[in-house]
Amino acid sequence: MKTTTKLTVLAFLFQAFLTVFLSGCGVGKADSSAKKVIVIGFDGMDPQLLSQYMSAGRLPNFSKLAETGDFKELGTSNPPQSPVAWSNFITGMNPGGHGIYDFIHRDPNTMLPKSSTTESVEASRTVQIGKWILPISGGEVKNLRQGRAFWNYLEDHNIPTTVFRVPGNFPAVESKGRTLSGMGTPDLAGTFGTFSYYTDDPPPNRNDIAGGVVYPVRLSNNAFESRLVGPKNTFLENEPDATIPFKVWVDPEYNTAKIEVQDVQIILQEKEWSNWVQVSFELIPGLQSVSGICRFYLKEVRPNLKLYVTPINIDPADPALPISTPDDYAKEIHKHCGNFYTQGMPEETKALSWDVFDYDDFLSQSDNVLQERLLLFNYVLDSFEDGFLFFYFSSTDLNVHMLYNMIDPDHPTFEIEQALKYAEVIPTIYETADAVVGKLMARIGENTTLIVMSDHGFAPFRRAVHLNTWLKNEKFMTLKNESKQAESQFLLNVDWAKTRAYSLGFNALYLNLENREKSGIVKPEEKEMLLRGITEKLLALRDPKNGNQVIHRIYRAEEIYSGGKLENAPDLVIGYNRGYRASWETTIGSLPLEWIEDNLDRWSGDHCMAAELVPGVILANKKLNTLSPKLYDLAPTILAEFGISKPDVMVGKTIFDKNLL
Amino acid sequence: MEIISTILNSFFGFLFFPFKTLAPVWGMLFVSFASGIIMLLIFKATSDQAGIKKAKNKVRGHFLAIRLYRDDLGLMFGTVKNLLISNFLYLKKAFRPMLFLMIPVGIILLHLAGRYEKRPFQIGETTVLTLRLAENTSWEQLKKVEIDVPDGLKLETPPVRIVQLSEISWRIRVEEQGEYWVAFKLADHVVKKKIVVNEILLPLDSKVTRSSFSTLLSNTDESSLPESGPFLAIEMRYPKREFDMFGFELHWLLSFFLLSLVSGFAFKRFLRVEF
């Protein structure tokens, strides 16, 4: 060997040794004294409930944080809906900047509702071979939120970021940091969560159930066979559902069942959950398949068989859609923590609303979600070294949606026996949140800023307002066929040539404006008068049941929004009073016969009301410099903590008082 | 045959003994490198080394001819034909030793699969344990089957008895480390299945059956079920082992072939083997 070659080899070996040795010694690792900012998001944590439980001494860590730092109400977004609120948080803008105005937007060209947060674009070029359709160009799912996420600005300054399940970040936007998508992430079928329910006693309303599908089965020799339904097979003509068979055997005497799906065997007793099961749906035999995960819940064996299966979640070990950055972050979490819900809103509220679950079933499922989230929290916290960390908990939101009637004696579904039985559920969840805060406070150093926040608070949802019915009663809307008023959805029965205003989504009211809507009839010069007329009448609305004011406040888009993405803005944002909310029917363009009725759904608490009635919370280990911090203040505040100036597009301001540090 | 099986099990047990408590990759490295060397020696002993060398030289010569005469199409076609023939002759020479290699490689793979395909249970994990009985076992008979689970394991559910399949399944949770024998009893007949709860590298059998060719290949100390009793098989599923080779997730089979190839090429000159 020549001398130069030998020297090169030696140099290489020395370099390799140095790399291994130094990395083993921790050289090059983050400085433990480096600046850290940790934000914990408890969706829907309510200031009134929080204060109540703190006063009762049940939340010592929250109390300690409030005493040593600060605790204030946090002004929510307008409207106060999670995708809007979290987009305010993410971008430091209001909806005029990020373009998310509601869970549901409407397409003025079709007058149909559409998702506000994501859009699926199918492959533009395909080749058909027999029954198979093969894409030449790739389809994609788009995140419709505009504006840069604040963590992108941090990354510009080489600050490490971990953003765990922040809502409204699906698909996860491009990032140099570690992110996992949250609310808005679909299940494998592309829905926000569709459960399956196999039973030999199908409920009479089984065809009406939203968010789930009931599959009637018949036991023969104590066994039945059925199929798990997965994604649509877009490689086949007419896109049939991809399915996989499974078989269930029931013991003739005991309340136990054995389930076989693909190569997995499960034994469950009544009221037991299986672990996560990985299933693979074959799309093109031998060539293309998609992997998902689900859990089985044996609700009942006798007298009737009732088997619930969770929505098929995207498999974190082999994600079919972009749920993380980098792509393998989801796999990394899976490797350390096992399977977990990837679906955006995992708590099974629909099954409870439709009586597929009772409260105990729901609570066992939502506890699964919470325990899993706590496990993930521990992992994420342990692997966080420095920079920025956001972690999200959903339990403070969806459980309160479903159990608010247990703490609201005025709710039409309030029952004293149930209330006594489940009275502790919400405070216990807050206590779990308190333990999370306690853990963080024990671990953080002096150079760490800790912010605990929520996107909105809560209020009772006692009465459901059918806003489109009211618009029709007040002659702002005309139907094509009056006799079919209650049957139609998606405003399909509306006579657009005679309709001046309509509502879609939870707080939005639109005019049928000429040159904007497909068949718009309201001329620009009529707009102001019409908006005033509708506003006056809505504010004067009184509940026929008790005489209460139904609408607290109405906001004009131009008064509350600023930015370059105003095209989807509603003309009026309806701020319902506490106790009132747009009905589920209104959100999808249906018109029941009465304009208001009792909310008999188990979804008994809500926040889609006037923004000032449902503020969120902020607690921090620093003093705030304002009495009325807002959600969109947090992005510039976090940037300021790292010494980064506020970008011009952000509307918020920093809220930490430098003089009080 | 059982003697051979016992000898092989003891041999591989001895081979893997130093690596039992180490990360699985070290046992794989050792066995793959050793296998590479052994395969070289077998190849050398069972092949026509001179003939192989000659065939390879011919192939090299034809390649050279293709490069030299690439402007002469007629000559090129002729050379390609000769190249194919030489290649075929080379493969023919290699075929015989390959046949000899199949048996040891098969045995090695069998013993690697027993250790690397699955891993023992870890505390807190559950499994479904299924006992298969002779066809047409009656419901009355199924009802009489008893299971005896030792301390360290927990029987989590009552059985699911499937008459049409003549089988019974239970769910078991492992609570402590160790090697356990779960016993099944029907009248005077008793059979056992081993369940391993550990973090070390051990050969595992997911299934025990009555004696058959496959039981002769078994690489554990579990004996087959008696021919005359009511039991056909006991089955459970060990978790799949995720094989990690210094940070890279590779299937153990691929790792074995890659490492043994590296070993073969590394020692080829030293052992003067032509292949």
3-state secondary structure A492-509: CCECHHHCCEEECCCCEE
Give CA separation, A483 vs A493, A584, A658, in Å: 10, 21, 65
d(CA B161, CA B171): 12
Q: Which of A222, A252, A267 sits opposite B171 (nearest CB)?
A: A267
Residue of A nearest to B235 (CA): A265
Q: In what order do the strands lie in the sheet with A572-576?
A: A501-503, A508-511, A572-576, A551-556
Residues A90-131 pLDDT 10s: 999 999 999 999 999 999 999 999 999 988 877 667 777 777
Phi, psi (deg, nearest 5) at residue B190: -130, 130
Contacts of A251 in chain B (CB under 8 A): 158-161
How far A251 CA lies from chain B's nearest CA (Å)? 5
Q: What's the half-sphere exposure (Cβ side, CA atoms, 13 Å) at A211?
A: 17
Class of domain B126-235: mainly beta
8 A C-beta contact, residue A636 and residue A653 = yes
Q: Which of A222, A254, A266 sits opposite B158 (nearest CB)?
A: A254
Q: B171 and chain A: CB distance < 8 Å anywhere?
A: yes
User: What is the DSSP secondary structure assignment for residue A482, as one 8-state letter?
Assistant: G
How far B216 CA lies from chain A's nearest CA (Å)? 25
> Would you list which residues of chain A are within 8 Å, Cβ to Cβ, of chain B?
221-223, 249-254, 256-258, 265-269, 275, 335
Q: Which of A223, A252, A267 sits opposite B170 (nearest CB)?
A: A267
How far B53 CA lies from chain A's nearest CA (Å)? 28
d(CA A522, CA A514): 5
Question: Which residues are registered as beta bridge partners of A129?
Answer: A132
Residues B141-153 pLDDT 10s: 999 999 999 999 9
- In what helix (H) or strand (E) does residue A421 lie, and over which residues does it extend? helix A416-422
Q: In the prediction, which pLDDT does B67 show?
A: 85
Residue of B nearest to A264 (CA): B237
Question: Which residues are registered as beta bridge partners of B126?
Answer: B173
8 A C-beta contact, residue A173 and residue A149 = yes
Q: Is the pLDDT of residue B183 over 80?
A: yes
Q: In the prediction, which pLDDT does A28 show?
A: 37
Contacts of B158 in chain A (CB under 8 A): 251, 254, 256, 269
Residues A159-192 pLDDT 10s: 999 999 999 999 999 999 999 999 999 999 999 9
Torsion of CA B35, B41, B43, B48, to 10 degrees: 170
The helix/strand/coil state of A365 is helix
Domain positions in chain B = 2-118+249-268, 126-235
pLDDT confidence bin for B215, thresholds 50/70/90:
low
Phi, psi (deg, nearest 5) at residue B29: -60, -50
Contacts of A335 in chain B (CB under 8 A): 242
pLDDT confidence bin for B66, thresholds 50/70/90:
confident
CB within 8 A of B256, min separation 6: which ones? B28, B31, B32, B35, B108, B109, B112
Cis-peptide into A79, omega within 30 deg: yes
The helix/strand/coil state of A36 is strand
Q: Is the pLDDT of residue A19 over 60?
A: no
Surface of B (129-148) touching A: CB under 8 A: 130, 139
Q: In the prediction, which pLDDT does B217 show?
A: 66
Per the CB < 8 Å rule, is B128 touching A223? no
List the one residue out of B174, B177, B195 whose CA is nearest residue B126: B174
Q: Is the pLDDT of residue A13 over 50?
A: no
pTM of the model: 0.88
* Most trustworthy range by pLDDT among A614-618, B63-67, B215-219: A614-618
d(CA B239, CA B224): 22
Between strands A140-143 and B231-235, the pairing is unpaired
d(CA A235, CA A395): 38
Contacts of B169 in chain A (CB under 8 A): 258, 265, 267
Looking only at Cα atoms, what is the longest distance across chain A? Answer: 98
Mean of pLDDT values over A520-546 = 97
d(CA B261, CA A228): 44
Q: Is the pLDDT of residue A567 over 50?
A: yes
Contacts of A296 in chain B (CB under 8 A): none
Mean of pLDDT values over A576-599 = 97
Q: Is the pLDDT of residue A30 over 60?
A: no
Q: What's the half-sphere exposure (Cβ side, CA atoms, 13 Å) at A643?
A: 7
In percent, the amount of chain A with pLDDT more than 70 equals 93
Surface of B (211-250) touching A: CB under 8 A: 237, 242
Amino acid letter, residue A265: Q
Would you state the structure tokens that stand for residue A221, as one six-digit string? 């020799």
Q: Is the pLDDT of residue A336 over 90?
A: yes
Instruction: Pick from A225, A247, A253, A265 the residue to mutate for testing the B interface (most B CBs within 10 Å).
Output: A265
Look-up of token digits 């031998």: A286
Class of domain A33-100+148-158+342-455+614-661: alpha beta
Q: Is the pLDDT of residue B5 over 90?
A: no
pLDDT confidence bin for B213, thresholds 50/70/90:
low
Contacts of B164 in chain A (CB under 8 A): 221, 223
Q: Is the pLDDT of residue A10 over 60?
A: no
SS3 content of chain A, % helix, strand, coil (to 5): 30, 25, 45
Residues A368-387 pLDDT 10s: 999 999 999 999 999 999 99
List the one residue out of B163, B157, B151 whose CA is nearest residue B128: B157
8 A C-beta contact, residue A606 and residue A458 = yes
As annotated, the residues of chain A forming the CATH 3.40.720.10 domain(s) are: 33-100+148-158+342-455+614-661
How far A252 CA lies from chain B's nearest CA (Å)? 7
Look-up of token digits 């066992």: A364
Q: In the prediction, which pLDDT does A16 show?
A: 40
Amino acid letter, residue B2: E
